[in-house]
Structure formats: C-alpha cells, structure tokens
A = this chain, B = another copy of it.
Amino acid sequence: VRDAIERDQIGLSAGRTREAAIVVSDVGEFALIDRILARVWRGGGEKVVVAPGDDATVLATEGARVVASTDLLVDGVHFRRDWSTATDIGHRAAAANLADIAAMGATPIGLLVGLGLPGEVELEWVDGLADGLRDECSAAGALIVGGDVVRSPTITVSATAIGTTHGQPVLRSGARAGDVVVVAGRIGFAAAGLALLQAGQLEHPLADAHRRPQVAYAAALRLAELGATSMIDVSDGLVADLRHVATASGVRVELTRDDLPLDAALVDAGLAIGVDPLTWVAGGGDDHAFVATLPPDAALRAVARVADLPEPVPFAQIGRVVTGSGVVFIDGDAPQAHGHAHFS
C-alpha cells in the first residue's frame, strides 16, 4: 500500500512511458540489493577477504598503502537520462573515481557504490547502471566491493574507489623546474561531446565521448613507474588542473598551443558548431586524461612505454615546468582561461 501511494505521489517523469515495466518501488531493499549484486559481483579473488553482504567488506592489502577517493553524481547536474543510457552513467560514475586512484600512481582494487533511487525508476535502468559500474571497474582492474541502496527523490550515484600502492604516491606537489609536461589519454573529446549534445546532435559519434570516457588507467601506472614527479587526472579542464599542480608544486607551467593534441574529429566538430576546438582541449573536463610531469629522460622513455601498452593511448608532450607561478601559453593566447566549475 505504501509503495502504491508513494508511486502515485511521485508520478512518472514527463515523456517517459512505463507500461508494465517493473520499477524500484515494486521490490524491497534487500531484493534490489540482491539483484544488483547478481550483476556486479564477480567473485573476490585473493584481494577480497570478506565479500559484500556483511556489515562491511574486508580487503587484503599486503602491506601496501591504501588510496581512497569519493565522488557524487546527481541526475540533472552531472548526467541527463535523455542524453545517456544507464550503462553510460555507470561507466562515468566509476571512471571519475577510478581515475583519481590511478592519478596517484596507485592500482584501483575496489569500488563502493551508494545509489539513491526514486521509487518509479525502472529496474531495467538500475540493471544498466550496475552493468556500467561493473564493466568500468573491470577496465581498471577493480571490483565492485560494497554498496548501499536507498530511496531518494533524486537519482544519485555515490562512488568511493579504493586502491593500493607499494611505492610513493604521485602527488600534485612534486613538479620541478626542468620537468616536461605530458598528457596521456583522450582530451577534449568529452567536452566536444557535451557541446554536440547541447546543440541537439544526440547521434553524433563524438557525443559518446561525453557519455562514456575512455580512461587510460594503464598509462597512468606506467607514468608513475617511470618516475612522474606529479600527476593529475583532468576533470576540471587541462589548464585548471595544471594550475592546481603549479600552485601545489610552487612552479610555473609553460604550455605550447601547437603541441596540444587536436584530433581531426574535434576540428570537424568545432567547425560544425562554430567553436574553437582548442577550447575543448584546454578547458574541457571529464575525459579523465592523465597529465604528468617527468624529468626529460623519463618523458622520452614514457613515449615508448605508453606506445607499448596493449590498447593504444594518445600521448603528447605539451609543455615544460619552469620557476615561477601559474600556467601560461608561450605561443599565443590561452584557448580558454578557466575550467568549468562543478558546483555553482
């Protein structure tokens, strides 16, 4: 009875038909958790001492340091259900967190997920979300290791990634004058995709870059092994995130416009909707590319080691670290001086 009342009060989202689909409020909390666990739980291996289902999950770390990061994604703020499938959103939520672990030079091992769901959400949508979370974890070598499901008027996905490192974590504060600045992974694609979606081009191939980032987790670990002095994943925008590095390290970052990686697909998209595509590369977040600083000899080795990965990863040297402060372009104006602010 209570479920029926609740469903009636919340009503259906405009423009969505439901017919006989099973929705969240048709099943209880425990049944929903069981359903999600059946999709995401892949067996623990030796790293999971106690699997989800007890009060907490227990992970073995063999003396390593534990690295942890958390993010919230909110319907209508961080994703739109008319632009992205549930599976896309699962990928994005997991990637945002797992990339933070990799940016520390640590190996992601597990993800805990909290889901806030209105009663009228279809179970099929929840299944898709679980699939995306699970598959993005697989791509990073991690497992879903815990979670919580609650009722909420707003679809909310919280994710906390846990990783381990036996070495020194790679911080934002380690860049030194003389280092070279490199970027590994696609950059500018998610921002281009978002711009295309905003322009109504939902079917454009680049729109998928917003829906589902392709994160170069393995490249981040290679850069750490090769002696990256600092590293960050680009989530606020290349320039904005490098400014975090410059500030934390007490250095100046000099970037070269002509060295920014600019894929032909971005140039075409920029022409199509009248935007300088370099603004996407310099200012766009959400690709979770890894920007690192390395001594010049290590940067040279990195070119070969990243090219050697099983999956090809875009890689470019884009600037250098000097004494001073701030982030500047040495061959022209900045394509865009600020990243996007998540909050306000």
A residues with CB within 8 A of B: 2-3, 6, 24-25, 27-29, 32, 49-50, 53-74, 76-78, 99-101, 103-104, 106, 110, 112-116, 119, 145-154, 156, 158, 160-163, 165, 169, 171-173, 231-233, 248, 341-344
Contacts and interface: CB of A to CB of B under 8 A. Distances in A.
Contact of A55 (B57, B69, B145): B69
A25 B344 CA distance: 6
A104 B153 contact: no
Given A146-B68, A149-B343, A100 B55 contact: yes
A76 B66 CA distance: 34
A72 B248 CA distance: 32
26 contacts: A32-B343, A55-B99, A55-B231, A56-B69, A56-B163, A56-B169, A58-B66, A58-B104, A59-B65, A59-B67, A59-B68, A68-B112, A68-B145, A69-B112, A69-B146, A70-B113, A70-B146, A72-B158, A74-B150, A74-B152, A76-B153, A77-B151, A112-B160, A114-B158, A116-B154, A153-B154
A256 B59 CA distance: 37
Contact of A57 (B57, B64, B67, B99): B67
Counting chain B CB atoms within 10 Å of each CB, the highest count among A28, A145, A169 belongs to: A169
Contacts of A149: 343
B104 A156 contact: no
Contact of A68 (B76, B110, B119, B172): B110
B56 A161 contact: yes
Given A148-B71, A152-B154, A66 B162 contact: yes
A327 to B, nearest CB: 16
B65 A116 contact: no
A101 B344 contact: no
Contacts of A67: 50, 56-59
A316 to B, nearest CB: 21
A74 B157 CA distance: 12
A293 to B, nearest CB: 14
Contact of A171 (B54, B68, B114): B54
A150 B72 contact: yes
B152 A156 contact: yes
Contacts of A232: 55
A103 B28 contact: no
A104 B56 contact: yes
Contacts of A341: 28-29
A50 B343 contact: no
Nearest to A101: B56
Nearest to A113: B70
Contacts of A32: 343
A106 B66 contact: no
Contact of A169 (B49, B103, B113, B114): B49
A147 B158 CA distance: 11
Given A54-B171, A150-B72, A152-B77, A29 B344 contact: yes
